[in-house]
Amino acid sequence: MGRGLPVNERAEPRELAPLLERLEAGLAGYDSVVVAFSGGVDSSLVAALAARALGARALAVTAVSPALASGELDGARSVSRAVGIAHEVISTDELAREGYRRNARDRCYHCKTELYDRLAALASDRGYDVLLSGANADDRGDWRPGLRAADEHGVRHPLLEADVGKAEVRALAGRLGVPSAEKPASPCLASRLPYGTRVDPAALAQIDRAERAVRALGFPILRVRHHGELGKVELPAGDLERALEPRLRTEIAVAVRGAGYAHAAIDPEPFRSGSMNAGSGALPLALVPG
């Protein structure tokens, strides 16, 4: 596995053409592969490289469960067609696992264990050689219990092993014409629940409804953090000032309330991944009597 610096610490970016050749050559050494495929930029790049290196011997598989946000499956199907890889859909049942429902800091370990159990069974039944993930080099510095589950299942991480970080992932995906090259991260809906709040299908569906409703108001990147009766909206810095204008503020309140929350708030801090790991304040919204 590569031991170099993450891409954001490199003195100079690497040339893309030789890096692509190296990645493809590494994948060509496998007999056949199954790619754990969410449709996000990381797994999309791995799928595109696998298709180029292995052709029909590469299969992308997307797992569907109540934790998958609306629209993500359609996006994955579109990307798989664009990069020319065979694509299948399976169902996972992470909610049947107490460790996942308990929602401690190792929730992702139980989710990924369920995923890789299902993918390993599929690969074994169908004669595929190796499971691949889209983990990249920047994931080394983050809290990623899912990588432990991957290790237990013998999953390989072509991007991480080649020391390719997120900036290079996007550059490589753009060079290959991958449609999701600039797609924002879209982790599972359970990531909107504070650690210790049990995961249940009703809460996941409520979060999904709220995010769809706010997205329809012209906010493509957001999270609705689930705090019982409160839905707290997080938005990027570029959208925050606009969202706090009186008219839109009220419309966001109506959207969140319409998803079933009694109260709504906008976080005064810009959206950032992993914000559930730390508490922050919120600005209550002008709520419509209901």
Catalytic residue positions, numbered: 188
Residue 285's SS3 state is coil
| 67 φ/ψ sector (left φ>0, alpha ψ -120 to 50, else beta) | alpha
H or E, element range at 33: strand 33-36
Distance CA 218, CA 76 (A): 22
Q: Is 245 exposed, middle or buried (0-12, 13-18, 19+ CB in 10 A)?
A: exposed
- Report the C-alpha gap between 140 and 122 in whole angstroms: 28
53 neighbors 152 (Cβ within 8 angstroms):
no
The two structure tokens encoding residue 53 = 């290196």
Sign of CA dihedral 36, 41, 47, 50: negative
Distance CA 89, CA 14 (A): 35
For the chain, count helices (H), then strands (E).
Answer: 11, 8
